[in-house]
Amino acid sequence: MESFKKRIVSSPPKPREEIEEMNAYSAPLEGRRNFLRLDFNENTIGPSPKVLDAIHKIPPNQISIYPEYSGLREAITRNLNSSTIQNKLQADQIELFNGVDGAIHAIFHAYASKGDLLLTTVPTFGYYNPCAKMQGMKILEVPYEGPSFDFPLNAIKESLIRNHPKILIICNPNNPTGTRTSAKKILELAKASPQTLVVIDELYEAFLGDSLLSVVNFSKTSNLVVLRSLSKTSGLAGLRIGFGISNQEVIHRIKKVTGPYDINSFAVAAAFASLEDQEYTDNYVQEVLKARTWIQQKLLNHGVKHHIDGGNYFLLWPKKSSTEVESSLKAKGILIRNMKNKPFIEGSLRVSIGTTAQMKQFWEALKKSDSI
Ligand SMILES: Cc1ncc(COP(=O)(O)O)c(C=O)c1O
């Protein structure tokens, strides 16, 4: 009995070696409710009233039973096919996920083994790294080029040829640099590297992006996945729903690693309503693009060091430390994202673009911070 007790105390179960060695995704996620939130590139006005209506109308028995997804893939397919797509999509080329985060996790889980190589860019979205590490992958990061953070096309090409990575992931437009990469060039990369799964995170595509969906034919291209979400444009970030779009065979494989009910009934009802009110989403995107022009003009007129390209965000280098300006804006009720310790953009702030009124509020607070 004595030795049994000792054994229990001295040898708790060990997680996989990869888990012990990795760091979890970390971001300042809490305590954001009462601020103007320009820190996570979210929709800053909320979803369509039709979404709220659909959620209110959910009957109790839809909450007490497991969610049903029937018709949702078809609704997404119709929605995507109504945009400028050369080769129309089919419903079995789409899978639903608990946000694009869920899709990224599932793709790495399905495709990457210990020792495989991930090729990606730097700086980029912070969740690719932990997903690769949890599979025990090695990571090769190619920096964006020059002061305008251009896409490192030749370096990526060379690395694909030399290293044969298992996965290449590109965020397009890239978070946080806004770098836009030509869809045609990405398609050429994918065609030239059939041994690599090329994943294109198009979360911010609606904000001046160039979508792969407009050029790819998934029936002929079997190593490409496009990721989309209703988080940022449609204002459903809190409900968690995203999509992966690919060749049927890839979708079939990724589906194997998802749970049967990963997306909840509220997200399903909201997604149907949101997809039916595309006009609301389009109007919001237009408002953000107007606000983008407004703030860009202010930054240029005042000679503020900044970088603005695709996406609903921009980078700004204040004259004071990024931490000092972050605190000053927070004291005025505004959250932005401090890029402290981020390679290549150290000292900058990433500011999400909302409505013009919100950008005016931000601009006034920034001027008062005495840092531009
Ligand atoms: C580039 C990128 N991909 C994915 C996500 C997560 O998206 P979702 O809310 O659909 O999980 C984010 C969130 O900030 C992001 O910036």
Question: Could you give the CA distance from residue 219 to residue 97 in angstroms, rounded to a whole number?
Answer: 22
Percent pLDDT > 70 in the chain is 98
Domain ranges of the chain: 31-46+279-368, 49-276
- Nearest atom (ligand 1) to Cα of 232: 9
Q: What pLDDT, on a 0 to 100 scale, did the predictor assign at position 29?
A: 87
Question: Could you give the CA distance from residue 244 to residue 231 in angstroms, rounded to a whole number?
Answer: 14
Is residue 256 very low, low, confident or very high in pLDDT (cuts 50, 70, 90)? very high
Distance 13 CA to ligand 1 centre (A): 33
> Taking a C-beta distance cutoff of 8 angstroms, is the pair 170, 159 a contact?
no
Q: What pLDDT, on a 0 to 100 scale, did the predictor assign at position 272?
A: 98
| Identity of the residue numbered 80 | L
Residues 58/63/65/67 CA torsion (nearest 10 deg): 70
Scan for tokens 């994918």, then name that residue: 190
Residue 8 scores a pLDDT above 80: no
Q: What pLDDT, on a 0 to 100 scale, did the predictor assign at position 217?
A: 96
Which residues on neighbouring strands pair with residue 307, listed in sequence order?
Answer: 315
Residue 84 scores a pLDDT above 90: no
Residue 364 φ/ψ region, left for φ over 0, alpha for ψ in the -120 to 50 degree band, beta for the rest: alpha
- Average of pLDDT values for 54-81? 97
Residue 71 scores a pLDDT above 90: yes
Distance 201 CA to ligand 1 centre (A): 8
Residue 130 scores a pLDDT above 60: yes
Q: What pLDDT, on a 0 to 100 scale, did the predictor assign at position 6?
A: 61
Distance 97 CA to ligand 1 centre (A): 12
Is residue 2 very low, low, confident or very high in pLDDT (cuts 50, 70, 90)? low
- Average of pLDDT values for 41-68? 97
Residue 1 scores a pLDDT above 90: no
> Taking a C-beta distance cutoff of 8 angstroms, is the pair 285, 235 a contact?
no
Residue 270 scores a pLDDT above 60: yes
Which residues on neighbouring strands pair with residue 142, listed in sequence order?
Answer: 121
| Identity of the residue numbered 341 | N
pLDDT tens per residue across span 272-294: 999 999 999 999 999 999 999 99
Question: Could you give the CA distance from residue 275 to residue 281 in angstroms, rounded to a whole number?
Answer: 9
Question: Could you give the CA distance from residue 61 to residue 288 in angstroms, rounded to a whole number?
Answer: 38
pLDDT tens per residue across span 340-365: 999 999 999 999 999 999 999 999 99
Q: Apex CA 235: angle with CA 234 and CA 236, to 5°?
A: 100
> Taking a C-beta distance cutoff of 8 angstroms, is the pair 296, 353 a contact?
no
| Whole-number Cα distances in Å, 229 to 59, 102, 183, 232, 298 | 26, 11, 18, 7, 31
| Identity of the residue numbered 293 | T
Ligand 1 pocket by Cβ (under 6 Å): 40-41, 99-101, 125, 171, 175, 201, 203, 229, 231, 237, 242
- Average of pLDDT values for 55-60? 96
Distance 203 CA to ligand 1 centre (A): 6
DSSP for 71-128? THHHHHHHHHHTSS-SS---GGGEEEESHHHHHHHHHHHHH--TT-EEEEEES--TTH
Could you count the other beta carbons within 10 Å of the beta carbon of residue 23?
8
pLDDT tens per residue across span 171-221: 999 999 999 999 999 999 999 999 999 999 999 999 999 999 999 999 999
> Taking a C-beta distance cutoff of 8 angstroms, is the pair 270, 236 a contact?
yes
pLDDT, the chain, mean:
96
Which of 104, 169, 175, 177 has the most ligand 1 atoms within 8 A of CB, as the residue to mutate?
175
- Average of pLDDT values for 83-111? 95
Q: What pLDDT, on a 0 to 100 scale, did the predictor assign at position 26?
A: 85
Residue whose CA lies nearest to ligand 1 atom number 13: 40
Question: Could you give the CA distance from residue 67 to residue 65 in angstroms, rounded to a whole number?
Answer: 6
Question: Could you give the CA distance from residue 182 to residue 271 in angstroms, rounded to a whole number?
Answer: 29
Question: Could you give the CA distance from residue 342 to residue 323 in angstroms, rounded to a whole number?
Answer: 13
Question: Could you give the CA distance from residue 167 to residue 111 in angstroms, rounded to a whole number?
Answer: 8
- Average of pLDDT values for 92-99? 98
- Average of pLDDT values for 19-43? 93
Q: Which fold has domain 49-276?
A: Aspartate Aminotransferase; domain 2 (3.40.640)
Residue 5 scores a pLDDT above 90: no
Q: What pLDDT, on a 0 to 100 scale, did the predictor assign at position 11?
A: 81
No. of helices (H) and no. of strands (E), the chain: 14, 12
Cα dihedral across residues 26, 31, 34, 35: positive or negative: negative
Q: Apex CA 173: angle with CA 84 and CA 164, to 5°?
A: 100
Which of 84-88, 93-97, 212-216, 347-351 is predicted with the least confidence, judged by mean pLDDT? 84-88
Q: What pLDDT, on a 0 to 100 scale, did the predictor assign at position 27?
A: 87
Residue 51 scores a pLDDT above 90: yes
- Average of pLDDT values for 233-253? 98
Higher pLDDT, residue 7 or 270: 270
Distance 100 CA to ligand 1 centre (A): 6
Top-level CATH class of 31-46+279-368?
alpha beta
